[in-house]
Homo-oligomer: A and B are copies of this chain.
Amino acid sequence: MESRFYMLLYRLSHAQRTVIRPRGAALGLGSGQPKLIDYLARKGPCSQKQLADYFEIDPAAVCRMLDALEKGGFASRSVDKNDRRTGTIRLTDKGSQAAAAWQQAAEDVEQQMLAGFTRQEKQQFAAYFRRAYRNLKPDSSFGREPALPQEETQTREKE
A114 contacts B12, C-beta separation under 8 Å: no
> Is A110 among interface residues, defined by CB-CB distance under 8 A?
yes
Contact-size category for A: 35 or more
How many Å lie between the Cα of A56 and that of B3 in the bound state? 17
Nearest CB of chain B from residue A99's CB, rounded to whole Å:
14
- Number of identical monomers bound together in the oligomeric complex: 2
Q: Which chain B residue shows the least CB distance to A110?
A: B5
B117 contacts A12, C-beta separation under 8 Å: no
> Is A64 among interface residues, defined by CB-CB distance under 8 A?
no
Nearest CB of chain B from residue A2's CB, rounded to whole Å:
7
Report B-chain residues with C-beta under 8 Å of the C-beta of A10.
13, 35, 55
> Is A106 among interface residues, defined by CB-CB distance under 8 A?
yes
> Is A131 among interface residues, defined by CB-CB distance under 8 A?
yes
B136 contacts A3, C-beta separation under 8 Å: no
B124 contacts A124, C-beta separation under 8 Å: yes
